[in-house]
Amino acid sequence: MKKTFIKFLIIPTLLIGTLSSCEDEFLDRATTTQQQDADIFSTFNMTDQVVNNLYRKTRGVYTYLAGQNMSSAADESKDASSWMASMQFNNGSWSGNSNPIGNTWRENYVAIRQANQILEGVEQYNTPDDPNNPGYLSNRIGEVYFLRAWFLADLVRQFGGVIIVTHTIDQNDQEALNQPRSTYDQCIAQIVADCEEAYNRVAFDYPANQVGRVTKGACLALKARMLLYSASPLWAQAGKTTYQADISDDKTATDPEKWKNAADAAKAVIDLTSQGSLVYSLEPTLALRQDMFKKNTLTSKEVIWIRRDETNQGYDQYIFPFGSSGWSGASPTQNLVDLYETSEGLPITDPASGYDPLRPYENRDPRFYSDILYNGASWKGRTIETYTGGRDETSTQTDHTRTGYSMRKLADENITIGQGTGRGIHGIQFRLAEFYLSYAEALNEYSPGNPDILQYVNLVRERAGQKPVEGSLSQTDMRQRIRNERTVELSFENHRFWDVRRWKIAPETQQEIYGMRPIPDANTPTGYRYDRFKVEDRPWRNAMYVIPITTDETLRNPNLKQSEGW
Amino acid sequence: MKQNLLKKVGTIIILYLLTLLSHESAAQSLTIRGKVKDETGQVLPGVTVIVKGTTNGATTDTEGNYTLNVPNGSGILVVSFIGFTTKEVPINNQTTINVNLAPDAKALGEVVVLAYGQQKKETVTGSVATIQTKELVQSPVSNLTNALGGRLPGLITTQRSGEPGVDGSTFYIRGVHSLNTTTPIIMVDGVERSMDYLDPNDIESISILKDAAATAVLGMRGANGAVLVTTKRGKVGKPQVNFRTSAGLQEATRLPKYLGSYDYARLRNEALINDGAQPVFTEEQLEGYRNGTLPNTDYYKFLMKPSMVAQSNLNISGGTETARYFISAGYNFSEGNYRFTEDNAEGFNTNNIMKRYNLRANVDVDITKDLTVRLDLAGILTARRDGNNSASDIMNLANRMAPIYPIFNEDGSLWGNGTFTQNIYGEVARKGYRDWYNNTVQGTFAVTRKLDFITKNLSGRVSFSYDNTNSPNAQYGKGYAVYQPEYNALGDVANYRQFGSNSQINPDGSFGGGDARRNTYLEAALNWNGKYGKNEITTMLLGNRRLVNENSRIPYAYQSALFRGTYTYNTKYIAEVSASYQGSENFPKGSRYGLFPSISAGWIISEENFLKNKVAMLDFLKIRGSYGEVGNDRSGSERFLWFTSWSDAGDDGTYAFGRGWEQGAVGNENVTWERGRQVNLALEGTLWKGKLGFTFDVFKERRSNILLSRSTLSDVFGQSIKPQNIGIVDNHGFELEVTHQNQIGRVHYFFKPNVTFARNKIVYQDEVLRKYSWMYRTGHPVGTKFGLIADGFFRDADDVANSPRQSFSAYGPGDIKYVKLTPDEDYDYIQQAFDETAIGYSRTPEIMFGANMGLDYRGFDFTILLQGAAHADVMLNNEAVYEFFQEGKVKPFHLNRWTPETAETATYPRLHYSTNGNNHRASTFWVKSADYMRIKNAEIGYSIPKNLVSIVGLSYFRVYANGMNLYTWDKLKDYQVDPEIGDGNGAMYPIQKIWNFGIDVRF
C-alpha cells in the first residue's frame, strides 16, 4: 500500500517538475522586441526621424479647422455642408466638451512632450552628429526648440495663458501634472526664448529637398506674430497678470511698449539679411502672388515657413464651386466681399469710391478678381452661374454655395475634379506680407504718423495693383485701413478668426452673415438684380474670445481653471 | 392496400434476413425470444439485441419481437436502441427475455461536463448549466452562437447583425463583470476553440461554467466564465445512420421605414422655415411628389427580399467493444436579402452568401483493455461572399438617401451627383464581389492508460491538439459611375455629368492573405478515484500548455498545473477543492504565475434519514456553495503592458523629410491580471419523480485589478500610459431554472422556464473629480447611459424666456427643454458638462429570460422557445432617429412633430434641416427601452410510426417545420429597429426571421 502510494506521488511530481523547469523559455515571448530610448538617441538617423515626426504634428494652415478652412468659423466664409466643423462655431454649439478645431489641447502637449524628449534624449545619450553633414545635429536641436515654441504658441492663440512644459513630466509627478496656468505674458516669454535659442542654431535656408525646415526667418516670424498678439487689446493689460483674456466690452487696452516690441520684431523679419542681401521679398506681381499659393510655394522669396504637403487635390474639390464638381467649401461671404475696396483705392462705403450696387463686381480691388469667384466670373473656360437655376446655384442644397460666391484664392483652376493625379498643397504658415502689415499695425499704435506705416501698407497694395492709401489719416482711420488691408490680403490664411478676437471687434463683425443672390432681370445693366440676403445669425458672447479648455482636463487637474465665461 | 403490400414485402425481407442469421449459427443450443418495450409499454421495433462480446445479434420486428440463437445459456444480452439507455441482461438459461428500455435523456442528464472532465450531476458543487443536442438542432441557424439565447440560465446573449457569416452573438455569463473584455472563453472538447461554425448535429451537449468552483482550473482565463462544447462519440452497437436536411426562407425581422417624397419634401420645407431659411420645394414640386410624377424611392423595398437557407447533415455512429466511431458530414447555406445581385453579364452573384461544410470523425480504439486511443478530426470550411461592400455602408446609404432621388435616370443609367457618388443599385450589383474563406482543421490525439498496476483506479492521459485556421480572401472589385442629368431651358435632359468611372473586374482579382491562426495544446493528466466504505474520493492532476500563433503576432502562450479533488461521504456530504497555478506570456518575468484556488461543498439533504422515504414527493434536494478566485489576463488587444517603446508612426507617419518615429504609451512595470473573487450559493432539487425540477443560484463577485487607463492623468503629461490594475467592479444576481414534465394520457409535455438577473456596479475606476455628485459614473453599472434630462418641448417664446438658457445651439418654441441640475448661484444656463447625469440602463440587459416548452402526442411534437431581455436601454442617434440627419430623411414618427398647432400632442420636437445641437444630443428623449420578448424558436414535427418506417428499412422518420425570431414584443416599433440593435445610428444588417422545413431520418 505504502509503495503504491509513493508511486502515485512520483508521477505528478515529475509532471509539475517538467512544466516548471521550462516555464521561463516557454513564456518568454517578448524579450527583445521593440525599440527603447537608447536605440533611438544613440544614432543621428533615428533622432532625425523623431524630429520628422514633430514636423508632422504641426497643424496645417488651410486645414486648421479639422481638415477644413478656418475662415468659415469667421466672417470670411461659410461652408456648404452641415457636417463640417465650422457649423459648430456658426451655431454656437462649441464648448469645453467639443472644440471644433480638434482636441488641440492634448495634441499640442503630446507634441511638446516629444520635443522635450528629443532635447533630453540628445543630452542623455550624447547623440552623435551626422557624420556626413557636420552641424546637422545642432540644427535639428534648433528646429526642435522652434517647434516646441510653435506648439505652445498654438495653445496660447486658442486658450490664452496655459501650462508651460519644458521637460518630460513623470507620470507620478502630481505637482507638475497639476500645475495652474501661467500668465499669458509668461507664455509669450517662453515662446520668444525658444525662438531665440532656435534662431542661433538653424540655417537661413536649405537645399530644395529640405525646404520647410525651420529657418532663422521662421524663428523671427513666430516671435513677431506672438508679440503682436500680446500687444493687442484682448491681452495687452490682462496678459501681464493673468492667463484670462480681457473679455470686457472695453476695446482700448493698450501698452505702447508691447506695441514697440511687436513692431521691432516684425521689422526684424522684414530686414533679415544674409550675405548682404534681404532674405525675403514680396512677389512682384499679383499673378506671382497667386502662383505662390499653387505652384511656387517652395521657391517663393515671400514665403517664410510652410507646412509641407498639407493637403492635396481633395482640397480643390472642397473649395471648388458646385458646377465644377466641388463642395463649395469656404464660400466667401458678402461681409468679406464688402471689404474689397474699389479700384479707386477707397472702401465701398466711401461715396468717392465709385461703388455701384447695380454693378457690384465692376471696378474692384484686383485681389477681388484673383481671390473670389462671383456670378459672371470667368472660370475654367466658362462663366460662374450662381443665380437660381445656374450651374453654381446659390442654395442650401448639398455642395451649393450658400453665399453666392466661391473661393478662388487657394483653388487651382487647372485641376479638374476626379481627373489627373492632382497636386500637393504646401500651406503657407508665414509670408512676408503678414509682417509688413503687422509692422504697420504696431507702429500706428505707438507712433501714429510714422511714414513707415503708409510705406509698408502701400507696398502690399502696390504689388496687388491697387492704388495706394494717400493723405494723412488719423490714427483711428489708419487703424481701420490697416485692419481692412490685413483682412483682404491675408484672407483664408487663418488670420481673421484670431484677428477679430485680439482686436476685440468680433461682436460687430461676426454675428450677421450675408450673401448675394443674383436674380436674372433684363431691366438691370448687368442682366441681374443683386439681392443681398442674410445667410445666418451666429451667436456671440464675449466668452467666445477664447476657446474653452477641454472640460475633462479641468476635471483632471483641479488647479486648472477654465477660461472665463465657459 | 399499398401499405399492406409494403408490410408483406418488409416482413419477407426480415424473415429472409432472420433465416440467414439462423443459418449461420446452425449449431444452436438455445433459442431466446422476447419482446422489447419502452417505459410506457409501447413496443419498440428495430432494437438491436446482441450477445455481449460477439457479433451474434438480432433486430426486433415491427411487433418488438426478436429471436436469437445463442451457443449456451451463460452469456449476456446487450439491448440497445438509439434514444434509450442500453441495457444488459444475463441470459441465465432463460428462453424468454422481455426487456423494457428507459429513455436515454435522463441517463445523459446524470453526467455533467466540466472543465477537463466530467462529474455525476448529483455530486457537482459548482454552478453549471447544460443543454443537449436536441434543443440545438431546432434552431436553423448557421452560427451556433445564435441557438443558445434563452436556453441556458446565466447566459446573456446579444446578436447585433443578421448578415450571413458575420451574425454571431456575443456572450456574457452572468452579465458584465469588468470594465474590460468580459466575454467567456469557449472550449470545444476540452480545447479553447471557436464554436461558431460547428454543426449543431455534431454536438452532444453545451455547458456553461458560471462560478469559481467550475472555472478556477481555468486560472487567468476563467474569470468571465466558460462555454464548454462536447461533440458526439460513438457507442457500442450497430451502425446508426442519421440524415437530416432542411430548407427555408429568411427575411428581416424588421426594416426601417421612411416617409415618401411628398412628406419628405413638405417636412423639409417646414424644417427650413424653422431654421430661418428659404423652403426649397415649390408647390408644383410638392404636387409632383404627391401625385407620383416625381421620384419617390423606397430604398429598402428596392433593396431587400426574402432569401434562402438550407442545411443537411449525415452522420453515422456505432462501434464494437474495441472501436467506436462517430463520423459526420454537414452542409449549411444561407443567402443574404439583397436583390439585383445577379444582374450582370458575367454570371456571378454578389449577394451575401454563407456556405459551410463540416466534416468530423471522432474515433475511440481500445488497443488493449488498459490502453485507449482517441482521434478526433474535424474540418470546418466556410466560404462567405459579399458584394465588395460592407453591410453597414449599404444600410447607411439606404438610411440616408432621400426618397426624392431616383435610383435610375431616364436612360437607365445610375443616378448620382457630386455628393451622392454611391448608388444603392450600384453598391449591390456593380461593385464586383469578395470571397472570404475560413478553413479550420481541428485535431486531437489522446492516449489513456489505465494505471491499475500502480494503484487501483488510477489512469493517465496525454493528449495533443492541433488547430489551424486560415482565412484568406479574394476580391474581384469593379467600379461604377453615376450620372447627374443636366437640363436645358425646356426642362429636357441635355446631357449627363459623370461621377466616378465604370471599370471591369481584373481577372487576377486581388488576394488577401487574411488571418492565419495556429493553436497547439498539450495536456497530461492523472485521474484517480477510490471508494473506502462510505468515503469516495476523486482526484485529477493536470498539466497543460497552450501556444497560439496568430498572424505575425508574437505567440500567445500559457501553461498551467491544476488540481481538482472531490470527497464524498455517504453520498450526502461533498467537498471539493480545485486550483490552478498558471502563467501567461503577457506579464513580465518574475510575476507571470498566479494561483487560482476554489473550495466548494454540497449537502444532499434528501439523502438524510429525516427526509429520505419520508417525504414522498421529494426525490432529490441539494444545497451547494462555492468560493474562489479566478483571473483575466487580457485587456483588449494591447499586450506586454510593461514596455515603453518607440515605433515607426506608420505609412501616414512620414513628413517631407522622411519617416517619423515616436514613442508609444508609457509602460506599467507592475502589470498583473484581473482578479475575480466569486461566491455562489444554490439550492437544487427534483420533486414528484422528476416531474418538477428546479435550480436556484445566487452569486456575488468582486472583480479587482481591472486594467484601466488612468483617466485622472492630465493631457499636459503629453503621452498615453499603459493600463494600470486599478478598476473594481462588483456584480451580483441570481438564476432560476424550473423544469416541469409530465404525461397525461398519451400527451407528454414539458415546460422549462429560466431567468437570469445580474447587476454590476463600478466601485472604482479612477474617475476625475466631478464638480457635482450626479456626474459620477462610478457607483453605476458599466455602460450606464449619461445625458441630459429632457423635459418636453418649449411651449412658446415666454417659456423660452423664462427657462434657463441652453448653451448648445439656437433654440426656440418646439425644441427640447432640458432640466437644469446645477444650482443657480453656480450657473445660469444648461450645459453638457455639468447637467448630464445617469439616464438609462446599459445596453447589455440585466435580466434575460427564456422558456422552452413543448408537447408530443402520438408522433406529433411541438416546441416553442420564448426568449427575452429586460433592464436594457438603447440610445439611438443619427440616421436611426434624427430628422434630416446630414441631408438624410424622415421616418413616420417625425410626422408627430411639434408645430404651434400640435404643441399639446406632439411627440417629437420641431423639425430642423441642419444639425441641431440643441435637440440632437444625448438626453432622456433618445433613450428607449430595449426590453423585449420574442418567439425565438418554434418547431412542429411528426414522426411516422416506427412500425411503418421500419418496413422500408428505416428506424425513424420525422418531418418538421421550424422557425427563428418569429414574433417580437418590444418598444422600438416606432423606430422600426430590432430590439437587439446596438446604440448608435442603426446601420445594421437586419436580424433574420427564418421559416424552415425539414426531415430527419435514421436507418
More confident residue, A157 or B914: A157
Q: Which residues of B touch A326 (CB under 8 A)?
A: 418
B662 touches chain A (CB under 8 A): yes
pLDDT tens-digit readout, A541-563: 999 999 999 988 998 998 999 99
Which of A237-246, B529-538, B854-863 is most confident?
A237-246
- Alpha-carbon distance of B728 to A137, in angstroms, equals 48
Q: Is B273 on the interface with A (CB under 8 A)?
A: no
At residue B288, does pLDDT exceed 90? yes
Contacts of B526 in chain A (CB under 8 A): 11-12, 15
CA distance A54 to chain B (A): 8
B156-178 tens-digit pLDDT = 888 888 888 788 888 999 998 88
Q: Which A positions 122-161 lie with beta carbon below 8 A of chain B?
A: none
Question: Sorting pLDDT into bands at 50, 70 and 90, what band is B19?
Answer: very low
**What pLDDT, on a 0 to 100 scale, did the predictor assign at position A58?**
95
Q: What are A297-300's contacts with CB under 8 Å, separation 24+?
A: A297/A425, A297/A426, A297/A428, A298/A208, A298/A211, A298/A212, A298/A426, A299/A211, A300/A431
Q: Nearest chain B Cα to A398, which residue?
A: B419
Residue that wins the pLDDT comparison between A238 and B887: A238
How long, in residues, is chain A? 566
- Which triple of cell numbers denotes residue B776? 459620477
- Residue among B649, B714, B887 minimizing CB distance to A556: B714
Q: Which of A30, A111, A399 lies at the smallest CB-CB distance from B585?
A: A30
pLDDT tens figures, B439-472: 999 999 999 999 988 888 899 999 999 999 999 9
Tell me if chain B has a CB within 8 Å of the CB of A163: yes
B537 interfaces chain A, CB cutoff of 8 Å: no
Question: pLDDT of A113-166, one tens digit each?
Answer: 999 999 999 999 999 999 999 999 999 999 999 999 999 999 999 999 999 999
Q: Across the interface, which of A26, A212, A399 has its CB nearest the CB of B419?
A: A399
DSSP letter assigned to residue B553: S
pLDDT tens for A478-499 read 999 999 999 999 999 999 999 9
Q: Is the pLDDT of residue A171 over 60?
A: yes
Cell output for A45: 538617423
Examine the pLDDT at B1 and tell me if it is beyond 50.
no
Give the span between the Cα atoms of B47 and B85, in whole angstroms: 12
The edge-to-edge listing of strands for the beta sheet with B57-59 is B57-59, B48-51, B76-80, B87-90
- Of A48, A92, A169, which has the smallest distance from its Cβ to B717's Cβ? A169
Contact yes or no for A12 and B593 at CB 8 A:
no
Q: What is the pLDDT of residue A316?
A: 93
Residues A282-308: what's their mean pLDDT?
95
* Closest Cα in chain A, distance from residue B655 (Å): 6
User: Over pLDDT 70: what percentage of chain A?
Assistant: 95
Identify the residue whose cell numbers are 434575460. B848
Task: Give the pLDDT of residue A31.
Answer: 61
Residue-level pLDDT at B961 = 93
Residue listed under C-alpha cell 506586454: B640
What the block records as the C-alpha cell of B941 is 414535427
With cut-offs at 50, 70 and 90, classify the pLDDT of residue B908: very high
Minimal Cα–Cα distance from A350 to chain B, Å? 32
Put simply, the answer to whether B663 touches A114 (Cβ < 8 Å) is yes
| pLDDT (average), residues B777-794 | 94
Q: Cα–Cα–Cα angle for B214, B218, B219, nearest 5°?
A: 115
Put simply, the chain B residues between 753 and 772 with a CB less than 8 A from any chain A CB are: 768-771
Q: B278 — contact with chain A (CB < 8 Å)?
A: yes
Identify which of B593, B656, B833 has the shortest CB distance to residue A309. Answer: B656
Shortest Cα distance from A32 to chain B (angstroms)?
A: 11
CA distance A551 to chain B (A): 7
- The whole-angstrom separation of Cα B83 and Cα B101 is 10
Q: How confident is the model at residue A14 (pLDDT cuts 50, 70, 90)?
A: low
Residue in chain A closest to B522 (alpha carbons) equals: A19
Contacts of A27 in chain B (CB under 8 A): 557-559, 583-585, 592
pLDDT of B617 strictly over 90? no
The predicted pLDDT at position B795 comes to 92
Q: Which amino acid, one-letter code, is at B134?
A: K
The pLDDT of B324-336, averaged and rounded, is 95
Res. A13: pLDDT tops 70: no
- Mean pLDDT throughout B612-621? 85
A-facing residues of B in 638-657 (CB < 8 A) are 639-640, 643-647, 649, 653-657
Query: CB contact, 8 Å: B554 with chain A?
Result: yes
Q: What is the interface pTM, i.e. ipTM, of the complex?
A: 0.89
pLDDT band at B932 (very low <50, low <70, confident <90, very high): very high
Q: Is B954 on the interface with A (CB under 8 A)?
A: no
Model confidence at B13, in pLDDT bands (50, 70, 90)? very low
Confidence band of A93 (pLDDT split at 50, 70, 90): confident
Task: Judge whether A109 is closer than 8 Å to chain B, CB to CB.
Answer: yes
pLDDT of residue B860: 92
Interface test with chain B among A2, A7, A8, A28, by most B beta carbons within 10 Å: A8
pLDDT at residue number A16: 54
Q: Is the pLDDT of residue A71 over 60?
A: yes
How many helices, marked H, and strands, marked E, lie in chain A? 22, 12
At B763, is the pLDDT very low, low, confident or very high (cuts 50, 70, 90)? very high
Claim: this prediction has a pTM higher than 0.90:
no
Whether A541 and chain B come into contact, CB under 8 Å, resolves to: no
Measure A209 CA to nearest chain B CA, in Å.
Answer: 8
B178-222: pLDDT as tens digits: 888 888 999 999 999 988 889 999 999 999 999 999 999 999 999
Which residues of B are less than 8 Å from A11 in CB distance? 454, 460, 526
Average pLDDT estimate for B828-844: 90
Chain B residues in contact with A54 by the CB 8 A cut-off are: 660
Rounded CA separation B135/A35 (Å): 54
Q: What is the pLDDT of residue B26?
A: 43
Q: Closest CB to A325: pick one of B418, B528, B559.
A: B418
Maximum mean pLDDT: which of A422-426, B83-87, B867-871, B913-917: B867-871
**Grid cell for residue A408:** 478662388
- State whether B713 and A171 contact (CB < 8 Å): yes
Query: Residue B354: helix, strand or coil by DSSP?
Result: strand
Nearest CB neighbour to A83, from listed B497, B541, B886: B886
> CB distance B646–A39 less than 8 Å?
yes
SS3 for A183-223, per residue?
CHHHHHHHHHHHHHHHHHHCCCCCCHHHECECCHHHHHHHH
pLDDT tens for A31-69 read 655 678 888 999 999 999 999 999 999 999 999 999 999
pLDDT of residue B380: 95
Residues of B with CB below 8 A from A115's CB?
none
Q: Chain A residue with minimal CA distance to B766?
A: A556
Q: B554 contacts in A (CB within 8 Å)?
A: 29-30, 33
Rounded CA-CA distance B233/B323 in Å is 11
Chain A CB contacts of B722 below 8 Å: none
Nearest to A53 among B653, B719, B917 (CB): B653
Range of lowest pLDDT (A471-475, A505-509, B81-85, B584-588): B81-85
Query: Would you call B541 an interface residue with chain A, using a CB distance cutoff of 8 Å?
Result: yes
Q: Check: CB of residue B654 under 8 Å from CB of residue B589.
A: no
- Predicted pLDDT at B809: 82
Nearest CA in chain B to A212: B656
Cβ–Cβ contact A405 with B under 8 A: no
At B658-701, the pLDDT tens digits run 899 998 888 888 899 999 999 999 999 999 888 899 999 999 99
Query: How confident is the model at residue B53, as a pLDDT?
Result: 78
Closest partner CB to A82 (pick from B458, B644, B915): B915
Nearest CA to A465 among A440, A449, A488, A487? A488
- Residue pairs spanning A and B at CB distance below 8 A: 238
B849 is written with which cell numbers? 429570460
On chain B, the residues whose CB falls within 8 A of the CB of A312 are none
